[in-house]
């Protein structure tokens, strides 16, 4: 039965139908899926109905309140997702057969790296690779690695350690964390500080979902369940709170110069724990056709950061 369905998929499915069906499965909502595909809900609904009529299979159960993927529909969508990746891979092979870094490239980057890394790198990329057309997307690690796996992004820049679930990491930078405290704080002018010297009740960290928080807890060997005084969504917010003597925070080396433009208010102390406390890497799919280009970028990133730091 399913072999017959496979044959029908190959002969009857169009790439647009694959895109529309996967969008519906992702959103479980026809209007949201239509918006994502930049088409009208009626166009999307008609395309799905036509697909189901060709296959003589109900992929989705739908009413005014919800959308459900049928069991057989899920098998078809799994196969369709692989077809989408295979077609994407064909385009990658053609694209990367030309001169390296002379094409459109989509890169994801996490928010605890992008504000400090991009100002250093983007002007250099524009100068060295003038023909590259970059699309940058900022998001958290979980979303970015998912998009790389699905072929929605070519690659992503994230911090390690992180569960890559089959992706390949190309490391290009490693760094330690530094304690940022107010000059009125007891840590004032300490060049080095151990984790066991930190008052956890005064330590301010990022919200859940930011891998930087996990890396800090690992470096300090602190329990995730411990109570921390304040949580914020950006490092800049945490620094402003430190300036107000609301507590202390830990930041990666890469961020220090950008975050702290007035060192007379703040004290910077190296976290004296085994490092590196985090590593920065470019992650790609195992079969990524542009691996040579990815390696060229990694070399370029490494050289650029070494010159600055």
Return the half-sphere exposure (C-beta side, CA atoms, 13 A cut-off) of residue 38.
Answer: 1
Which pLDDT score is estimated for 1?
44
Q: Are strands 155-160 and 266-271 parallel, antiparallel or unpaired?
A: unpaired
Query: Which domains are present in the chain?
Result: 2-95 (1.10.10.10), 99-173+279-308 (3.40.190.10), 177-271 (3.40.190.10)
pLDDT digits (tens, 9 = 90+) for 79-127: 888 787 777 766 665 565 544 555 678 999 999 999 999 988 888 887 8
Residue with tokens 């002379």: 102
Which pLDDT score is estimated for 215?
94
Which pLDDT score is estimated for 114?
93
Which pLDDT score is estimated for 286?
87
Which residues of the chain fall below pLDDT 70?
1-13, 89-103, 225-229, 262-263, 308-309
């Amino acid at each position: 039965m399913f072999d017959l369905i496979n044959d029908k998929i190959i002969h009857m499915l169009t790439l647009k139908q694959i895109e529309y069906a996967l969008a519906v499965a992702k959103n479980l909502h026809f209007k949201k899926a239509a918006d994502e595909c930049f088409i009208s809900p009626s166009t999307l609904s008609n395309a799905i109905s036509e697909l189901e009529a060709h296959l003589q299979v109900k992929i989705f159960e739908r009413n005014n309140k919800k959308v459900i993927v049928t069991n057989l529909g899920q098998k078809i969508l799994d196969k369709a997702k692989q077809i989408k990746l295979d077609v994407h891979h064909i385009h990658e092979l053609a694209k990367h057969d030309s001169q390296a870094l002379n094409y459109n490239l989509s890169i994801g980057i996490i928010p605890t790296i992008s504000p400090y890394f991009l100002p250093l790198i983007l002007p250099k990329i524009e100068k060295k690779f003038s023909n590259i057309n970059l699309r940058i997307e900022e998001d958290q690690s979980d979303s970015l690695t998912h998009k790389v796996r699905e072929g929605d992004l070519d690659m992503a820049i994230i911090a390690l350690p992180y569960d890559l679930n089959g992706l390949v990491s190309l490391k290009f930078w490693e760094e330690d964390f530094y304690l940022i405290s107010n000059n009125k704080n007891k840590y004032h002018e300490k060049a080095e500080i151990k984790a066991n010297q930190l008052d956890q009740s005064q330590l301010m960290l990022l919200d859940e979902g930011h891998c930087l928080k996990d890396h800090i807890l690992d470096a300090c060997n602190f329990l995730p369940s411990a109570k921390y005084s304040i949580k914020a969504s950006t490092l800049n917010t945490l620094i402003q709170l430190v300036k107000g003597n609301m507590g202390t925070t830990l930041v990666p080396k890469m961020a220090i110069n950008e975050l702290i433009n007035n060192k007379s208010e703040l004290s910077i102390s190296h976290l004296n724990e085994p490092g590196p406390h985090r590593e920065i890497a470019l992650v790609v799919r195992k079969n990524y056709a542009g691996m040579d280009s990815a390696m060229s970028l990694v070399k370029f990133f490494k050289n650029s950061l070494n010159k600055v730091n």
